[in-house]
Amino acid sequence: MSRLTPSSSSAISVARTGTVRLADVLAALTYALDLTEGQRPGHTLRSTLLAMRLGELAGLDREQSSALYYAALLKDSGCSSNAARMSALFGSPDQELKRNMRLVDWHDRWKLAMRTARSCGVGLNPYNRIRHFLMVAQTPTLTREIIQTRCERGAQIASVLGFPAATSEAILYVDEHWCGLGHPFGLSGSDIPILSRIILLAQTVEAYWSEHGTKAAVEMARQRRGTWFDPALVGHLESIRRDHEWWGRLADIEQIGETVVALEPGSVPTVATDERLDRIAFAFAAVIDAKTPFTARHSSNVARYAVAIAGTLGVDRTARRDLLRAGLLHDIGKLGVSNRILDKPAKLTEEELGEIRKHPTWTLEILDHVAAFRHFAPDAARHHERLDGRGYPWRLAGDQLSFTARVLAVSDVYEALTATRPYREGLTVAKVIDIMARDCGTAFDSTIFDAAVALAERGTFASLAEVTENGFDSLHSLVPATARHLAAVHVA
């Protein structure tokens, strides 16, 4: 079986051309957030376009516009945090559930009850559908708790990424309603930050517009004027309802990304420095790992293990940085997989396995949208391929698998086996090494596997995994630690 070494020309491709705009990176990554929320591709970008138009009509100054812009792009960054609970209570795929529930008026108890009943236990027998409906009905604080978790996590991610307090605040209060019956704090009227009011209207209008068109979206806003929405903002929306050229730009899925990036406030574009790109990768790793309680540290651990392995094999600092980011983002495609599958405590069916096996394809598609990450997107996505060609989803083999892909394959399996899963407890280091050794040379590169074994037996992997008990709660401390992860090369 042929091997690739760290010095091979195809080992790690590194792109270092031009300046990376922060708006470009975040706009591209919104496709992952749309996937998690079950929204049509481009939902967040269209919501941002709507928000910025409403902000302009509302007379926001430059500082407010900047805070609004990034809050709109990051409004769903906390969305994965409630997926497991929603799926468990409703007994339905979380993406479909979230899309359906976003279209209902919570203030209309009858409509809410009917939509909830239809959304419970989708695909299950009548008994289980009723059981899940009763579970939801017997949890009166469910909506508030789910929204609070989501909003607080999103606000914290915005803070970690270095955005101003106004951006975090806009995300935190985005589900507060003008009448005071929103969540999680029950703010009302002008007590709700203007940026939050704008984003709530923008995202709700976009959801209706995507499903039913402009007329229905504007009519929905009129009906909820003074309950959900600030009446003045609804007036601004009505003022542009006949601007067909503008609504046409909203519908142009091919150009929507460029349109939104061009709206970035300020005379000089904000640059995504290497440090900021690291922060973004760590932040989205937290989004990924929050999808299910059984992967609370998976992405960050895989990244740490991969960098440690590469360090012992003499990989240079620049390549290790790319490997760190690839490890953090390798499972971003799992945001498109239902928690009803991810958290299932029993053996998966062939159909469910098929859904799981789609996630590398989605990883590739998402990362390929991000110019700063595109050069390692294929390698990050190939972490389930094997040297003998029996991996998935592309069944690549041998020299088709780069050094990065091979390191991630070893790191991913090691982390998964040592971690607790819905169907078993985490395995001991000795047991994991014994299991993986059977596939050395067929699934795993033997040089990389040997390096991993040495690090595991020495306790290095265990030490790296102990950096945090919860990948998100310690995100503030994780981000500045990039240098420590890169310095793993010096492990003796």
What φ, ψ does residue 225 adopt, rounded to 5°? -60, 125
3-state SS class at 351: helix
Distance of CA 135 to the CA centre of its chain: 27
Length reported for the chain: 492
First-to-final CA distance of the chain? 29
- Residue carrying structure tokens 């009905």: 137
Q: Which two three-digit tokens encode residue 425? A: 């407890």
Structure tokens at 381: 């996505």
Distance CA 66, CA 60 (A): 9
Catalytic residue among 111, 291, 334, 347: 334
Q: What are phi and psi of 268, to 5 degrees?
A: -120, 125
Q: Could you identify the residue written with the tokens 């009129």?
A: 222
Q: How far is CA 57 from CA 60, 232, 264, 373, in A?
A: 8, 10, 16, 35
Helix pair 298-312, 403-418: axis angle to 10 deg: 130
Cα–Cα distance, 278 to 293 (Å, whole number): 24
CA dist., res. 71 & res. 233, Å (int): 17
- Contact 296/461 with Cβ under 8 angstroms? no
Half-sphere exposure of 115 (CA within 13 A, CB side): 17
3-state secondary structure of 212: helix
Cis peptide leading into 480, omega within 30 of 0?
no
Range list of H helices, 125-230: 126-137, 142-160, 165-172, 194-212, 214-223
User: Residue 317: exposed, middle, or buried by beta-carbon count in 10 A (0-12, 13-18, 19+)?
Assistant: exposed
Q: For tokens 């970008």, what's the residue?
A: 45
CA distance 196 to 180: 14
**Contact of 82 with 153, CB cutoff 8 Å:** no
Q: Is 50 exposed, middle or buried (0-12, 13-18, 19+ CB in 10 A)?
A: buried
Query: Residue 337 carries which DSSP code?
Result: S
For 313, the token pair is 């094999």
Sign of CA dihedral 91, 97, 103, 107: positive
* 334 labelled catalytic: yes
Taking phi first (over 0 means left), then psi (-120 to 50 degrees means alpha), and beta for anything else, what does residue 270 get? beta
Which residues have a catalytic role annotated?
334
